[in-house]
Amino acid sequence: DAGVTQSPTHLIKTRGQQVTLRCSPISGHKSVSWYQQVLGQGPQFIFQYYEKEERGRGNFPDRFSARQFPNYSSELNVNALLLGDSALYLCASSFEQLPYGYTFGSGTRLTVV
Amino acid sequence: QQQVKQSPQSLIVQKGGIPIINCAYENTAFDYFPWYQQFPGKGPALLIAIRPDVSEKKEGRFTISFNKSAKQFSLHIMDSQPGDSATYFCAASIRGGGNKLTFGTGTQLKVEL
């Protein structure tokens, strides 16, 4: 069984640009959550989607948005990139809405220059 | 009140030793406490989790000890091996609390031969 797949694995963007990150959950998982992990810190919650609806939102600015598609894959969009957005962006999938038994992907390393 | 405080920041033990990583929380509404292991370039992987109605849980060489009155929980790794060298994160969540995990800041463990 394939795990959680994220693309791209690495990305370099210029300040002010926009970026889209993609996540495919484990087959059968209906929940996708996004986390930001700054180097040397624990992951910080950004969004959770379950059955294509937003079910949780972290303390991030409106420049961050996401959506979930009918096949349960998800995209995270970040507009007007800042240097401080440089981080590892992690996607986690789970069968249920609650954050039990998350499986994380390997993440997308975003560098903003 | 939503924070989870983790210590130590880094830890070096000899092969066969028992590293102990500690976490503390303030919010008594937390009801799920997982531990994650993260290797460089990978996403966090769930190791073991506990709920507050249990004081100890063992899975293989990993044990969680939970002290509800002190609002603390810890991870013990028995017979540690060089392959256990990784970063460990504690986390906590609240049922109905936005469907998210709140992570600690991480402990970088090195197991030496």
Tens of pLDDT along B80-100? 999 999 999 999 998 877 789
Q: Please answer yes or no on whether A43 and B89 come within 8 Å at the CB atom.
A: yes
Confidence (pLDDT) at B8? 97
Are the C-beta atoms of residues A40 and B106 closer than 8 Å to each other?
Answer: yes
Confidence (pLDDT) at B1? 63
Terminal C-alpha separation, chain B: 40
Confidence (pLDDT) at A69? 97
Q: Please answer yes or no on whether B44 and A43 come within 8 Å at the CB atom.
A: yes
CATH number at residue B51: 2.60.40.10
- Determine if residue B99 is left, alpha or beta; phi over 0 gives left, psi from -120 to 50 gives alpha, anything else beta: left
Chain mean pLDDT for chain A: 95
Whether the CB of B98 is below 8 Å from some CB of chain A: the reply is yes
DSSP line for B39-101: -TTS--EEEEEE-TT-SEEEETTEEEEEETTTTEEEEEETT--GGG-EEEEEEEB-TTSSS-P
Q: What residues make up the domain containing A37?
A: 5-112
Cα(A111)–Cα(B46) distance, integer angstroms = 27
The closest alpha carbon to B99, from A67, A73, A47, belongs to A47
What 3-state class would DSSP assign to A45? strand
Whether the CB of B101 is below 8 Å from some CB of chain A: the reply is yes
User: How many distinct structural domains can be found in chain A?
Assistant: 1
The dihedral of CA B25, B27, B31, B36: what is its sign?
Answer: negative
Q: Which residue would you say has higher pLDDT here, A63 or A96? A: A63
User: How many distinct structural domains can be found in chain B?
Assistant: 1
Confidence (pLDDT) at A78? 98
Contacts B33 to A, Cβ<8 Å: none
Cα(B102)–Cα(B93) distance, integer angstroms = 6
Confidence (pLDDT) at A100? 85
List pLDDT tens digits, range B38-75. 999 999 999 999 999 999 999 999 999 999 999 999 99
Give the mutation candidate from A32, A102, A106 for the B interface (greatest B CB count, under 10 A): A102
List pLDDT tens digits, range A17-48. 999 999 999 999 999 999 999 999 999 999 99
Share of chain A above pLDDT 70, in %: 99
Give the mutation candidate from B94, B101, B105, B107 for the A interface (greatest A CB count, under 10 A): B101
Q: Which residue would you say has higher pLDDT here, B82 or A97? A: B82
Task: Indicate whether A1 pLDDT > 70.
Answer: no
Q: What residues make up the domain containing B83?
A: 4-112
Specify the range with the lowest mean pLDDT, choosing from A58-62, B31-35, B92-96: B92-96
User: Given A31, A98, A103, which is nearest B95 (Cβ)?
Assistant: A98
Exposed e or buried b per residue across B90-108, where buried means at least 16 C-beta atoms within 10 angstroms of its C-beta: bbbbbeebebbbbbbbbbe
User: Given B36, B43, B46, which is nearest A105 (Cβ)?
Assistant: B43
Confidence (pLDDT) at A76? 98
Closest CA–CA distance from residue B58 to any residue of chain A (Å): 17
Closest CA–CA distance from residue B42 to any residue of chain A (Å): 4
Q: Return the residue matching tokens 């460990």.
A: B88
Position B113 confidence tier, pLDDT thresholds 50, 70, 90:
very high
